[in-house]
Amino acid sequence: MTVESTAASKPRRSSKRVSAVAEKGAAASAEQGVAASPAKAAAKRAAARKSAARPQQAGQRGEQAGRQAEPELVQLLTPEGERVEHPDYDVDLSTEELRGLYRDMVLTRRFDSEATALQRQGELGLWASLLGQEAAQIGSGRALRDDDYVFPTYREHGVAWCRGVDPTNLLGMFRGVNHGGWDPNSNNFHLYTIVIGSQTLHATGYAMGVAKDGADSAVIAYFGDGASSQGDVAEAFTFSAVYNAPVVFFCQNNQWAISEPTERQTRVPLYQRARGFGFPGIRVDGNDVLACLAVTRSALERARRGEGPTLVEAFTYRMGAHTTSDDPTRYRHDDERQAWEAKDPILRLRRFLEAQGHADEAFFTALDEESDVLAKRVREAVRAMPDPDDMSMFDHVYADGHALVDEERAEFAAYQASFADASQEGK
Amino acid sequence: MTAEKMSLAKALNESLRKSLETDPKVLVMGEDVGKLGGVFRITDGLQKDFGEDRVIDTPLAESGIVGTAIGLALRGYRPVVEIQFDGFVFPAYDQIVTQLAKMHARALGKVKMPVVVRIPYGGGIGAVEHHSESPEALFAHVAGLKVVSPSNASDGYWMLQQAIQSDDPVIFFEPKRRYWDKAEVDTEAIPDPLHAARVARTGTDLTLAAYGPMVKVCLEAAAAAQEEGKSVEVIDLRSMSPIDFDAVQRSVEKTGRLVVVHEAPVFYGSGAEIAARITERCFYHLEAPVLRVGGFHAPYPPARVEEEYLPGLDRVLDAVDRSLAY
Ligand SMILES: Cc1ncc(C[n+]2csc(CCOP(=O)(O)OP(=O)(O)O)c2C)c(N)n1
């Protein structure tokens, strides 16, 4: 989220310091890239020169012939909705469970599209959509046990859903009312992490603790293909391997890190990285919910057995923009997206359910209604979300307190109170 | 009273030992802290007595050390991590500043971050590049972190245990050139609060405020000034975040003059913060502007000239004279 602005763009409360607010507004629009400047134009030219010099730039990537040969993916469900076998991985799910996975994906997508709409309506400052990544998230999320612990990025709305986190909790930071705002321990779902890759180390440390406790739960860390370039991710691989930590690294390779393609992050298929650190890596069809479930479950079980980490690369695609501030038309072709649309994770499970007679029209209609109810609930909850109290910025800075925070809190309270006194005087 | 004369290094070692003994959740982690006992031997013998599970030799990766400590803290452990030298904390700076400092606030208080990051810091030992720096202001500037530095063995013994018991992340700066200085440590005393400043020497004409390695220099300066008939009070701040401004104020209200001394560069250093606050608080008591003595705005120099860079007795006394001349 380079062009990130998490402050909701709702009308600001009338402020005592009008000039200060105007300044803030200007800063925000500059951040969003609205204001054009000579420096920007120069940067653009430089970028154009660069891309001319390098034929393999992002723009041409759609037709790029020299892409790495794609290694085999674990797949259990083809894009056409046919069930296929894999020698090492399988799932045996009841009709009810299959319908459950479908329901999870549909509701998650609906929640996500509602959030995007809320951003467009100015109710959220920013939104990072998971569109296209539902199978990777629901498949891996449903492989988890309650006592497993999840370390997400900022896009794991589907995993949050599987953990039973109320989806409205996820919106606080995007609306600008908090920087996280939920208790990570109530659903074993850690706060979203913005600094790319940081959470993979937290997951590893947490997993080291799990091992020390002699517990048999596992930890899963989500991150993207871009994150795989970060030192923290390499360090997490090292630590987890050296200490045999029960952690699964779940990389959603959605092909893009904002405008940078995966080829800009790595010269080898990502899942192969694991081998150099001394643990297995596996690439799974990230648009196949059954395969994601099977592979993640197997990796989690391996961790629980004390056999250490696994890297799962879910090969998938981010169908929308990186965030609502992003414009993917500047760096990728629409035909790429169309090619991936044919592999839509939801559509393929629907085809399978229909072909097998696992779900009828009534099921789909009921689900549509349920989606509408969810969307309405989310919409209402966001609009009703109270702004934090001014004084709350001084809360929880320290667990044990801090003299300076106490002093500044008192000063600020007195300053605020002086306005109340002034408004009383007029009456 | 069970007072015993020991070096700061030994006191820190005893402090870690006591912490490991009393709380099974305490872990010691870092590069070479196990078999070797740390490059300064602060963790000497701990792995032998508490095992590799409690005293953990880590891969050579500072971000990894702090990042995994955060995860362990989330799991309920109290990691004490050692950064080998001041100049090597920067690969971990991201984890410390963007994650460790903010986790408690981001979780609205629902998680605690009882992580101690121990950093041997400062110069005066004739080391090579990146082994002599004083980056405390970079940490004190960050909300969510607490930053402390003992100046003697007794404080080393007590402050480290208090830091480990704190539910907040504490950056614990150890003045490496004082590691071998010995002092009485009363292991059954009731220690001062972790963030309280201490009057190290009383005086009436001027206040010297310092912490960590510079406290000793200031005490020597005060003794020298005494011979010239000047009565100098020395405050050992002990904590750089928060700072016990009340204690400094009390002293300055009495003496009317303040000189702040630290090894770190003066520019944007903690002396600037102290000068500004004390000027606000004590404007009518001050007989002279608050003066600062410290390092220059230059990379820490090669060992052969570090004595010129580091504030020594003469530079401190010079500042004392300048202040008294107002
Ligand atoms: C350390 C860091 N650098 C840059 C950014 C800005 N940024 C936010 S998301 C992103 C791309 C991340 O790509 P990837 O890891 O592939 O995850 P994806 O968003 O595609 O799921 C960037 C560069 C950041 N948040 N953190």
Number of H helices, E strands in chain A: 15, 7
Q: Which atom of ligand 1 is nearest to the CA of A133?
A: 21
pLDDT of residue A425: 65
User: Counting Cβ atoms within 10 Å, is residue A202 exposed (0-12), middle (13-18) or buried (19+)?
Assistant: buried
Closest CA to A180 of B142, B102, B63, B67: B102
Q: pLDDT digits over A327-343, tens only?
A: 999 999 999 999 999 99
Q: How many CB atoms lie within 10 A of CB A85?
A: 8
Looking at ligand 1, which residue's alpha carbon is closest to its atom 13?
Answer: A257
**A186, A238, A399 member nearest B104 (Cβ):** A399
* SS3 (DSSP) at B265: strand
Does position A411 have pLDDT exceeding 80, yes or no? yes
Chain B contact for A198 (CB, 8 A cutoff)? yes
Chain A contact for B191 (CB, 8 A cutoff)? no
Q: Which residues line ligand 1 (CB under 6 A)?
A: A 1-2, 155, 194-196, 224-227, 254, 256-258, 318, 322
CA distance A169 to A299: 29
CA distance B109 to B106: 7
φ and ψ at residue A140, rounded to 5 degrees: -70, -40
Cross-chain residue pair B109–A179, CB shorter than 8 Å: no
Does position A82 have pLDDT exceeding 90, yes or no? yes
Residues of B designated catalytic? 131
pLDDT of residue A53: 35
Q: Answer whether B236's CB lies under 8 Å from B197's CB.
A: yes
Closest chain A residue by Cα to residue B163? A400
pLDDT-derived band at A32 (thresholds 50, 70, 90) equals very low
Beta strands at B55-57 and A310-315: parallel, antiparallel or unpaired:
unpaired
Q: Which residues of B touch A212 (CB under 8 A)?
A: 53, 77
Instruction: Dig out the tokens for B37 from the structure.
Output: 């006992």
Q: pLDDT digits over A347-369, tens only?
A: 999 999 999 999 999 999 999 99
Q: Which residues of B touch A181 (CB under 8 A)?
A: 106, 108
CA distance B38 to B25: 21
Does position A14 have pLDDT exceeding 60, yes or no? no
Q: How many CB atoms lie within 10 A of CB B97?
A: 17
Cross-chain residue pair A178–B109, CB shorter than 8 Å: no
DSSP B26-58: EEEEETT-SSS--TT-TTTTHHHHH-TTTEEE-
Q: Answer whether A296's CB lies under 8 Å from A312's CB.
A: yes
* SS3 (DSSP) at B127: coil
pLDDT of residue A422: 73
User: Catalytic pick from A89, A192, A271, A331?
Assistant: A331
* SS3 (DSSP) at B171: strand
Query: Which residues 6+ apart lie within 8 Å of B144 measured at CB?
Result: A397, A398, B100, B101, B102, B104, B105, B168, B169
**What does each C-alpha distance from A296 to A45, A65, A284, B263, B269 come to in angstroms?**
45, 32, 9, 53, 50
CA distance B25 to B54: 9
Whole-prediction pTM: 0.89
**How far from chain centre, in Å, is Cα A335?**
24
Does position A42 have pLDDT exceeding 70, yes or no? no
Q: Which of residues 200-219 of B touch A (CB under 8 A)?
A: none
CA of A330 to the centre of ligand 1 (A): 17
Cross-chain residue pair A205–B99, CB shorter than 8 Å: no
Contacts A–B by Cβ distance under 8 A: 148
Q: Answer whether A256's CB lies under 8 Å from A332's CB.
A: yes
Query: Which residues 6+ apart lie within 8 Å of B249 measured at CB?
Result: B278, B281, B282
Active site residue A322: yes
**What does each C-alpha distance from B57 to A77, A415, B46, B52, B285 come to in angstroms?**
45, 51, 11, 8, 52
DSSP A54-79: -TT-GGGGGG-SSPPPPPP-B-SB-T
Q: Answer whether B28's CB lies under 8 Å from B55's CB.
A: yes
Please name the amino acid found at residue A379: R
pLDDT-derived band at A89 (thresholds 50, 70, 90) equals very high
CA distance A135 to A143: 12
**What does each C-alpha distance from A77 to A8, A70, A383, B325 come to in angstroms?**
40, 18, 39, 86
Helix B270-282 and helix B245-255: axis angle, to 10°? 60
Does position A139 have pLDDT exceeding 60, yes or no? yes
| SS3 sequence of A190-240 | CCCCCCCCHHHHHHHHHHHHHHHHCCCCCEEEEEECCHHHCHHHHHHHHHH
pLDDT of residue A62: 39
Instruction: Dig out the tokens for A243 from the structure.
Output: 């200490």
Q: Which atom of ligand 1 is nearest to the CA of A225?
A: 16
pLDDT-derived band at A41 (thresholds 50, 70, 90) equals very low
Does position A420 have pLDDT exceeding 90, yes or no? no
**A181, A235, A397 member nearest B63 (Cβ):** A235
**Which bin fits A172, alpha (ψ -120 to 50), beta or left (φ > 0)?**
alpha
CA distance B191 to B196: 10
Q: Which residues of A touch B166 (CB under 8 A)?
A: 399-400
Chain A contact for B58 (CB, 8 A cutoff)? yes
DSSP-H helix ranges across B95-240: 103-106, 136-140, 153-165, 214-227
CA distance A252 to A257: 11
Chain B contact for A396 (CB, 8 A cutoff)? yes
Please name the amino acid found at residue A195: V
Asked if the peptide bond before residue B242 counts as cis, ω within 30 degrees of 0, the response is: yes
Query: Which residues 6+ apart lie within 8 Å of A174 measured at CB?
Result: A6, A115, A119, A124, A125, A126, A127, A128
Closest CA to B174 of B130, B116, B128, B219: B116
Shortest distance between the Cα of A208 and any Cα of chain B, in A, equals: 7
Closest CA to B78 of B25, B22, B14, B12: B25
Instruction: Dig out the tokens for B116 from the structure.
Output: 């101690």
Query: Region A237-252: what's the mean pLDDT?
Result: 98
The ipTM estimated for the assembled molecules is 0.93
Q: pLDDT digits over A289-335, tens only?
A: 999 999 999 999 999 999 999 999 999 999 999 999 999 999 999 99
CA distance B67 to A235: 9
**What does each C-alpha distance from B84 to A320, B118, B170 come to in angstroms?**
45, 8, 16
Most confident of the ranges A2-11, A64-73, B192-201: B192-201
Chain A contact for B94 (CB, 8 A cutoff)? yes
Closest CA to A184 of A161, A158, A165: A165
CA distance B54 to B24: 8
Q: Count of residues for chain B?
A: 326
Q: How many CB atoms lie within 10 A of CB A386?
A: 6
Mean predicted lDDT score pLDDT of chain A: 87
Q: Answer whether A264's CB lies under 8 Å from A224's CB.
A: no
**How far from chain centre, in Å, is Cα A318?**
11
Cross-chain residue pair B67–A185, CB shorter than 8 Å: no
pLDDT truncated to tens, each residue of chain B (326 aa)? 578 999 999 999 999 999 999 999 999 999 999 999 999 999 999 999 999 999 999 999 999 999 999 999 999 999 999 999 999 999 999 999 999 999 999 999 999 999 999 999 999 999 999 999 999 999 999 999 999 999 999 999 999 999 999 999 999 999 999 999 999 999 999 999 999 999 999 999 999 999 999 999 999 999 999 999 999 999 999 999 999 999 999 999 999 999 999 999 999 999 999 999 999 999 999 999 999 999 999 999 999 999 999 999 999 999 999 999 99
